[in-house]
Chain A
Amino acid sequence: MALTEAGSVRLNRKAGSGDLRFTLITWGVLLLLIGLWETLPRMGMVSAIILPPFSAVAAALWSLMMTDFFLGHFIVTLREILIGFVLGTAIGFAIGVALAIWPTVKRVAYPFVVGFQAIPKIVFAPLFIAWFGFGETSKVVMAVVIAFFPVLINTMVGLESVPADAMRLMRSIRATPMQSFLKVSLPHALPMIFAGVKAALTFAVIGAIVGEFVGASEGLGYLVDLYNNQLRIDRVFAVVVVLAAIGAGGYFLLEWLDKKLIFWRTEDNK
Chain B
Amino acid sequence: MTLDMMSTGGAGTPSPAWTKPVIETRSLAKTFAISGSEFVALQGVDLAIERGEFISFVGPSGCGKSTLLNMVAGLMPATSGEALVNGVAVREPSREVGFMFQTPVLLPWRTVEQNVLMPGEVFGRKDNALRDKARAVIEAVGLGGFVNAYPRQLSGGMQQRVALARVLTYEPSVLLMDEPFGALDEFTREAMNLELMRITRQAGITVLFVTHNITEAVFMSDRVVVMTPRPGKVSGIVPVDLPRPREIETMQLPRFTEILFEVRHILGGSRGAH
Contacts and interface: CB of A to CB of B under 8 A. Distances in A.
Contacts of B103: 163, 165
Interface string B108-149: 110000000011011100000000000000000000000000
A171 interface: yes
Contacts of A179: 121-122
A163 to B, nearest CB: 7
A168 B152 contact: no
A172 B107 CA distance: 16
B196 to A, nearest CB: 18
B106 to A, nearest CB: 9
Nearest to A261: B109
B152 A264 contact: yes
Contacts of B102: 165
Interface residues of A, number: 19
B126 to A, nearest CB: 13
Contact of B150 (A171, A174, A175, A264): A264
A268 to B, nearest CB: 9
B122 A174 contact: yes
B122 A173 contact: yes
A168 B107 contact: no
A187 B151 CA distance: 15
B109 A172 contact: no
Interface in A84-138: none
22 contacts: A163-B103, A163-B105, A165-B101, A166-B105, A168-B99, A169-B105, A172-B75, A172-B93, A172-B98, A173-B93, A173-B95, A173-B123, A174-B94, A179-B121, A183-B107, A183-B121, A183-B122, A187-B107, A264-B109, A264-B152, A266-B108, A266-B152
Contact of B122 (A163, A175, A187): A175
B223 to A, nearest CB: 24
Contacts of A174: 92-95, 122
Interface string B157-184: 0000000000000000000000000000
Contacts of A264: 108-109, 150, 152
Q: Chain B's interface: helix, strand, loop or mixed, by majority?
A: loop
Contacts, number: 50
B180 to A, nearest CB: 11
Given A179-B121, A262-B109, 8 more contacts: A168-B101, A172-B75, A172-B97, A172-B98, A173-B93, A263-B109, A264-B109, A264-B152
Interface residues of B, number: 23
Contacts of B152: 264, 266
A183 B122 CA distance: 9
A56 interface: no
A63 B92 CA distance: 72
A184 B106 CA distance: 10
A131 B156 CA distance: 59
A166 B107 CA distance: 9
Given A163-B103, A187-B109, A263-B109, A172 B73 contact: yes
B109 A173 contact: no
Contacts of A168: 75, 99, 101
Interface string B80-100: 000000000000111101110
B117 to A, nearest CB: 11
A157 to B, nearest CB: 18
B107 A184 contact: yes
A22 B152 CA distance: 29
Interface string A11-43: 000000000000000000000000000000000
Contacts of B121: 179, 183
Contacts of A266: 108, 152
A264 B109 CA distance: 5
Nearest to B122: A175
Interface string A152-189: 00000000000101101111111100010001100100
B74 to A, nearest CB: 8
